[in-house]
Amino acid sequence: MGKKLLLKNIDIPGISSYEVYRREGGYKSVEKVLAEKNPEAVVEEVKKSGLRGRGGAGFPTGMKWSFLAKPEGVPRYLVCNADESEPGTFKDRYLMEHIPHLLVEGMITSSYALGANKSFIYIRGEYFYVLRILEKAIKEAYDNGWLGKNIKGSGFDHDLYVQIGAGAYICGEETALLESLEGNRGNPRIKPPFPAVAGLYGCPTVVNNVETIAAVVPIINDGGEAYAAIGVERSTGTKLISASGHIKKPGVYEIELGLPVEEFIFSDEYCGGIINGRKLKAVVAGGSSVPVLPAELILKTAAGTPRIMTYESLADGGFATGTMLGSGGFIVMDETASVLRNLHTFARFYHHESCGQCSPCREGTRWMDQILSNILKGNGKMKDIELLWDIQGNIEGKTICPLGDAAAWPVASAIRHFRKEFEEFIENPAAVKDVKHYYSVNNISEA
């Protein structure tokens, strides 16, 4: 059994309530930092832990915190990114729904470290019911003196609010999120300035993912070194993985970074293997944006070493033969799945979600969606493959925000590793209809 830090108490009945959460040691990290009265030491502890942002980019959290500008008399903000809209990712929802006080506690402890007297959790609009759960937890925290004025007599004031979104993947990008929080369209800003200097309302702001903020709690309780002792090299600590697709046990798993990919997919402790005794075909390992890999390359690197769940190992081989840990949205496809059709759902997604500011992204995502749709309707031509390759190459690196790259990578990797499938679809559209692309709904219970 791997060590659990975030979900260790998840099965305790009533853990979503304040009483049980507190009884199990909740809010200790707040007590600790308020007693020690040394915000810089909290930042140091997070640096020592090696914690990297869990929202997808994997940027070292302690370093991000130390970049926060601190001009006199200007408020600072902490904003938690709970937009969670990257296809394949549902870990933040799980955490907020089942153990909401862990996030609230992390927000208070982190805000103390950053000197923020006001913080926001920006949650995607579709998670309205989770908003209710968070609001209840926040009210309990206020009622018990963990929020508000002069928290536990420390002189530290803090107010925490949840802000609801309204359905836009792009608002997960941190500057689009800040725009949305200010009541605007979610158009990403040009960086620099970075939020650490000019973020919410032009004030210095830290934006962190839900899981990142939650991880601050065990880091403060047990020390950064204890956290860094888990994992491999620069991938320290534990990570929540959202596992879905053709596996026996889909769900959210907390793994120690360094777990072999093969064990994650096939062992009964995790995904439990592929449903209906079928073979593994492909995996999208870190949410829709990361390159898709065929079975051989997800289990072993091109050099033949077993791949493990770390930022470094998954990226081994670069984009030629590797992928990324990303948000930890782990989508598994068995031998009956069509990588091409799955790709089309992604292409349609990015087309829908492009904010439209940059021409390469706005036009390119529309074009890729149309070409793929055409191929799948049986009207594809061989030269479409080259055209897709060309379009994705003209988006990547040429846009304001990384959504453009995120739209390009799945297309590039599908062509790189599954070109044969494209060719088969194009050459023989009639056969396409015979391929069993998905399970009939009635069979799902077999899994």
Partner 1 sequence: MSKITFSEETLKTVREIIARYPEGKQKSALIPLLHIAQSEFDGWLSPEVMDYIADILHIKPIEVYEVASFYTMFNLKPVGKCLIEVCQTSSCWLMGANEIVEHIYKRLGIKPGETTADGMFTLKTVECLGSCGTAPMLMIGADYHENLTFEKVDNLIEKCRQSGKRSSYLVDNMLG
Ligand X SMILES: Cc1cc2nc3c(=O)[nH]c(=O)nc-3n(C[C@H](O)[C@H](O)[C@H](O)COP(=O)(O)O)c2cc1C
Cα-based angle 296, 297, 299 (whole degrees, multiple of 5): 70
From residue 288, alpha-carbon distances to 110, 203, 373 in Å are 29, 32, 18
Least distance to partner 1 from the beta carbon of 429, Å?
18
Give the footprint of partner 1 on residues 121-140 (CB under 8 A).
124-129, 132
Q: For 274-278, which contacts have Cβ atoms below 8 Å and span 24 or more sequence positions? A: 274/246, 274/247, 274/248, 274/332, 274/334, 275/246, 275/247, 275/248, 275/334, 275/446, 275/447, 276/334, 276/443, 276/446, 276/447, 278/246, 278/334, 278/335, 278/336
Binding span for partner 1 by CB under 8 A among 35-43, 52-60, 222-230, 350-358: 350-358
Q: How would you list the strands of the sheet with 329-334, edge to edge? A: 251-256, 238-245, 329-334, 280-284, 292-294
353 scored as a contact of partner 1 (CB under 8 A): yes
- Position among 108, 403, 411, 412 found at the interface with ligand SF4 (CB under 6 A): 403
Q: Is 392 left (phi over 0), alpha (psi -120 to 50) or beta?
A: alpha
Question: Which pairing describes strands 251-256 and 238-245: parallel, antiparallel, or unpaired?
Answer: antiparallel
Nearer to ligand SF4, 80 or 408 (CB): 408
The structure tokens 């897709």 sit at 388
Q: Which of 10, 20, 69, 164 binds partner 1 (CB under 8 A)?
A: 164
Residue 253 amino acid letter: Y
Position 254 contacts partner 1 (CB under 8 A): no
CA distances from 371 to 22, 112, 408, 409, 424 (A): 55, 51, 14, 16, 16
**Per DSSP, which regions of 246-368 are E strands?**
251-256, 280-284, 292-294, 329-334
Per-residue binding letters, 154-193, with ligand X (x by CB under 6 A) = ----------------x-xxx-------------------
E strand segments, 35-158: 77-82, 118-123
Residue span 345-364 as binding mask against ligand SF4, x where in contact by CB under 6 A, dash where not: ---------xxxxx--xx--
Stretch binding partner 1 (CB under 8 A), from 17-25, 83-91, 205-213, 358-366: 83-91
Q: Does 111 bind ligand X (CB under 6 A)?
A: no
Which among ligand SF4, partner 1, ligand X, none contacts residue 217 (Cβ within 5 to 8 A by kind)?
none
- Residue closer to ligand SF4, measured from CB, 215 or 403: 403
Which of partner 1, ligand SF4, ligand X, none sits in contact with 400, Cβ below 5 to 8 A by type? Answer: ligand SF4
Region from 107-115, 223-231, 299-307, 342-350 binding partner 1, contact rule CB under 8 A = 342-350
List residues near ligand SF4 by CB under 6 A. Answer: 170, 188, 354-358, 361-362, 399-401, 403-404
List residues near partner 1 by CB under 8 A. Answer: 75, 84-90, 92-93, 118, 124-129, 132, 159, 161, 163-169, 180-186, 201, 242-246, 250-252, 284, 288, 329, 331, 333, 337, 341-342, 345-346, 348-349, 352-353, 355, 438-442, 444-445
